[in-house]
């Protein structure tokens, strides 16, 4: 397969950006969940809003911070889909995934520490019902369709706002509160707080997210059969690739 040949940043620098971005993402999700539970202990709807709004706004910010370096994936499903379209080398995608997971675990530890909780506390919040898994597949598919539709139509500058808006909305229109990300699913195991997920629920969540990602690839190819590697390389934000 031919890949876009642009001189740019080395893989190590892009991996560092993915690590930091993933850590900030987990800290956003978990930290705002802890704050929401503290501020509104008796109102679940308000807690969800107080978790969703900072996550949506924070996604916009961290995408703008780190996207110009690595693309701002922070999500293994996004990286794998990008590799499937030829925008990211497969060996680079294989490097992105563990770094994203590690970043989300670091972010969970940081969020716990910021609220004077144990650095690691394993969540007991079981979430893997059939409805939740169906919701995760839909949430993940929708996320990829948003991202790659913008790339195909050369509107990647709008991607940070669009992704933040979509995830913020998906907190409410899905029963699972839209994890839509295997790395954040793993990271959230390590915080027994509002945003946590029990380890027993994670494999099913990740499987549902991968299924949603695969379905999204089919939808994107049907809508935009001529997606090029050059266009896919702009996901989520335009960024220089390492010389090939």
Residue 184 in this model has a pLDDT that exceeds 80: yes
Residue 132 lies in domain: 11-232
The rounded distance, in Å, linking the Cα atoms of 25 and 77 is 15
The pLDDT confidence band at residue 127, using thresholds 50, 70 and 90, is: very high
Query: 55 near 136, Cβ under 8 Å?
Result: no
Asked whether residue 3 carries a pLDDT value surpassing 50, the answer given is: no
- Residue 240 within a domain: no
Residue 37 gets the label, from left (phi > 0), alpha (psi -120 to 50) or beta, of alpha
18-49 residue pLDDT tens: 999 999 999 999 999 999 999 999 999 999 99
pLDDT tens digit string along 150-170? 999 999 999 999 999 999 999
Instruction: Read off the pLDDT of residues 90-110 as tens digits, 9 standing for 90 and up.
Output: 999 999 999 999 999 999 999
- Assigned domain for 3 exists: no
Strands (DSSP E) found in the chain: none
| Residue 156: DSSP 8-state | G
pTM value > 0.85 = yes
> What letter would DSSP give residue 237?
S
Provide CB contacts within 8 A for 178, sequence distance 6+.
Answer: 135, 136, 139, 167, 170, 171
Structural domains of the chain, count: 1
Cβ(6)–Cβ(165) under 8 Å? no
Residue 224 located in a structural domain: yes
CA dihedral 134, 135, 137, 140 (to 10 degrees): 180
What percent of the chain stands above pLDDT 70? 94
Residue 199 belongs to domain with CATH number: 1.20.1080.10
Gap between the Cα atoms of 183 and 179, Å rounded: 9
Structure confidence at residue 213 (pLDDT): 98
């Amino acid at each position: 397969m031919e890949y876009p040949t642009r001189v740019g940043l080395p893989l190590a620098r892009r991996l560092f950006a993915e690590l930091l971005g993933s850590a900030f993402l987990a800290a956003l999700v978990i930290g705002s969940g802890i704050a929401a539970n503290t501020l509104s202990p008796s109102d679940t709807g308000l807690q969800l809003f107080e978790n969703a709004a900072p996550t949506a706004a924070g996604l916009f910010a961290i995408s703008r911070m780190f996207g110009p370096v690595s693309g701002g994936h922070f999500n293994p499903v996004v990286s794998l889909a990008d590799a499937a379209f030829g925008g990211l080398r497969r060996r680079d995608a294989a490097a992105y995934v563990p770094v994203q997971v590690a970043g989300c675990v670091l972010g969970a530890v940081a969020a716990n520490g910021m609220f004077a909780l144990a650095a690691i506390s394993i969540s007991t919040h079981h979430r893997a019902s059939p409805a939740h898994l169906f919701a995760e597949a839909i949430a993940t598919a929708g996320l990829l369709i948003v991202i790659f539709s913008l790339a195909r139509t050369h509107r990647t500058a709008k991607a940070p706002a669009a992704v933040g808006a979509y995830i913020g909305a998906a907190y409410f229109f899905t029963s699972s509160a839209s994890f839509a990300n295997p790395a954040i699913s793993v990271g959230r195991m390590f915080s027994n707080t509002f945003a946590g997920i029990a380890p027993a629920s994670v494999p099913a969540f990740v499987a549902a997210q991968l299924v949603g990602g695969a379905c999204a690839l089919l939808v994107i190819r049907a809508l935009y059969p001529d997606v090029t590697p050059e266009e896919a390389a702009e996901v989520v934000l335009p960024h220089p690739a390492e010389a090939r």
